[in-house]
Amino acid sequence: MSATLPPEPPSDLPSTLGELRASGWESTPVHEELRRNAAARIAGGHALVDGVLGFDETVLPQLENALLAGHDIILLGERGQAKTRLVRSLTTLLDEWLPVVAGSEIRDDPYFPVSRHARDLVAEKGDATPLSWVHRDLRFSEKLATPDTSIADLIGEVDPIKIAEGRYLSDELTLHYGLVPRSNRGIFAINELPDLAERIQVGLLNVLEERDVQIRGFTVRLPLDVVLVATANPEDYTNRGRIITPLKDRFGAQIRTHYPEDTETELAIVHQEARPPISAPGGPRVEIPDFMAEIVAELSQLARQSPHVNQRSGVSVRLSISNYETLAANAVRRSLRLGEPDAVPRISDLASLIASTQGKIEIEALEEGREERILQGLLSASVLSVFRRRCPTEQLGPIVNAFDEARVVHAGDDLPASAYAEVLAQVPALEGPVLALAGGETPGAVASAAEFILEGLHLTKRLNKEAAGAKATYRGRG
C-alpha cells in the first residue's frame, strides 16, 4: 500500500450512473478482480507482489493458488516475516479506480447498492446518480486485533448522535458502520487474529460464509463484497489466544511464511529496507564493505539456529536491519569525532551491536551476565563464518609467520584509519590480502579489511588476541 496520498481521479471518468452504463464498465466481485489481475501478472511473467524477497519458491506460489481459487487467507508465521507487507501489497492487484455511489460510507456498487443511503439515492436520481471514484490504495483497511476490540469496532453500532438528531432507533440510517462494512468492495486485514476475543471472532463467521453482516437487533443485513486476510503467530495459538475452529475452517488457505533461508537473501532485504546513515552536513561519506554487511546478516542466520535463543519468539529480519544501521552509525560517530572524511565500519564496531540486538531476541540464559556472552559468541561465530568464505587461510600463512617474529598490532574503534597504514608497514605480508579485500587503498577501507583479517586469524586460532571493550591487541601464538 502506498505511503503517499492517492492521486486525484482522472477527469475523463464517468461522473453519473448513466455515463457509467454508457462506458461499458462492468461490476466485478473483489475476489474475481484479484483473480483476474493475479492471472495477468503470472501470465506476463511478472512478480505477484513487489518488494517481498525470499518467497519466490515457497510462499508466493501458495499465495498465487489462493488468489486464483478466490480464497480468504491466513498468513501464519513468526514476527518479522513480512506478513503485513505481503498483505498490504495485495492492493496492487486491485483495479486502479473503482466507481462508488457518491456519499456512500460503504463504497456502494452503483449497479447493486446495499446501504439505505445508496438505495434511496439511486431510486431518486436514476441515471443521474452522482459517482465518486476510489483509488485502490484506499480499498484496504487494517486492524490490529486486541482483546478489547469490540463488535462495534468491526461490524457497527447505533450512532447516538444520529438518534439525538431526531432519527428513530429503527431507522437504518442511525447505524454507524464498523471497519468490515467500510471495507466493502476491498480488502480487510486483521493482524494477530488469535488476540481477538473468541466471542468477537464469532462475529466474523457471517462475513466469511454468508458474505454479510448483521448489526445489533436490526433486521438489516448488508451483503458485502470483502476479501478477508488475517495474520497470526504460531506461538499465539497457545500463548495468548487461538483462532476458533469454525472461523479457521472458513478461511480457504493457510500459508506459512518463513525467515530468509540464506545470508544472501537476508542481506538483500537489509539493503532494501535499511535507512541510509545520516551525518552532519559536510560530514563523512559512509561506505559499508560487503564483508561487514555480510557479518550482520550472518548474525541473524546463526541466531535462528542457536539453542540459546528462544526460537518460538523468533529472530526478526528487523534485527539485521537495525544492526546494519547501528554498525553504520558507530562508524559515522567515530569519523565525526576524529574528523575523517570517510566512515567505514570495522570489526571493532561490532561491539555496538550488542545494544541493538538485546531487545530483539530472547536469550534463554539463567545466570546474570550470560546473555551478553552469548551475543558476543554469536558475533564471533558470524565473523568466523564470513572469514572462512572470503579468505582462504592457506593464503595467509606469511602473515602468521610475521607475527611469530614477536610483532604486536593494536586495533580499535578509537584509532584513526590512517593508523592502519602503519600496520601494513609493520607487517608487509598483510598488504596484499588487505588491499585485495578492501578493493582499493582508501584509509577507511584498508582499516576495515585489516581488522577483519586479523580477527579472522585470531578466530581460526592462528593469532592471539587481548581485548578490552572495542580495543584489541593481536600477537603471535609462539
Rounding to the nearest 10 degrees, give the CA dihedral for residues 86, 87, 90, 92. -70
> Which of 320-324, 372-376, 390-394, 404-408 has the lowest average pLDDT?
404-408
In whole angstroms, give the CA distance from residue 198 to residue 447: 58
Q: Which residue has the higher pLDDT, 178 or 102?
A: 102
Residue in the block written with cell 462475529: 203
Across 365-388, b (16+ Cβ under 10 Å) vs e yields eeeeeebeebbeebbebbbbbbbe
Average pLDDT over residues 354-374: 82
Task: Give the pTM.
Answer: 0.86
Average of pLDDT values for 219-240? 76
Using the predicted structure, report yes or no on whether residue 5 has a pLDDT greater than 60: yes
Q: Tell which residue, 55, 87, 103, has the closest CA to residue 227.
A: 87
Over range 22-40, report the average pLDDT. Answer: 96
pLDDT value of position 255: 95
- Thinking of the domain 17-256, which architecture would CATH place it in? 3-Layer(aba) Sandwich (3.40)
The helix (run of H) or strand (run of E) holding residue 303 is helix 290-303
Strand ranges (E), 304-348: 342-343
What residues does each domain of the chain span? 17-256, 263-475
For residue range 419-449, list pLDDT tens digits in order: 999 889 888 999 999 999 998 889 999 999 9
Residue 182 one-letter amino acid: R
Task: In whole angstroms, give the CA distance from residue 384 to residue 294.
Answer: 11
